[in-house]
Amino acid sequence: MSRFKVQGFPTIMVFGVDKSSPYAYDGARSASAIESFATELVESSAGPVEVTELTGPDVMEKKCGSAAICFVSFLPDILDSKADGRNKYLEMLLSVARSLRDILTALCGWRLLRNRIWRRELTWEDTVIQQW
């Protein structure tokens, strides 16, 4: 506790990319306030949701190399689905990506905190969220 200069309880520490320099959360201690804080934190660090055409290994490395989660979708040939069909698939993928981010953000903000407090064994879902 002295390593992170914890002076009272409860203390919530936020660990970003630099794990050696966390900062203390100083907001309200209600579940909704902590969830809102976690949601804003993840949204601000995750960047925009986008769909990129995978044209080669270099694009795969650039877009997915450092990502904790990377979804790859295989769509019908554009000659089969035409431009309108392809655009519908892309719109659907963006919608799913936004929904997943919202779900993962909410779970990251509260569920992981709850699981750690209860010292419950982490599930696969929690592991994925931790990597997010």
Residue 58 phi, psi dihedral angles, 5° rounding: -65, -40
User: What are the pLDDT digits (tens) for 90-109?
Assistant: 888 888 777 666 555 444 44
Q: Cis omega (within 30 of 0) on the bond before 22?
A: no
Q: Which domain holds residue 93?
A: 2-131
Q: How confident is the model at residue 12 (pLDDT cuts 50, 70, 90)?
A: confident
User: What are the pLDDT digits (tens) for 49-84?
Assistant: 777 877 788 888 887 777 666 777 777 777 888 889
The number of domains in the chain is 1
Query: Token pair for residue 91?
Result: 């719109």
Whether pTM exceeds 0.85: no
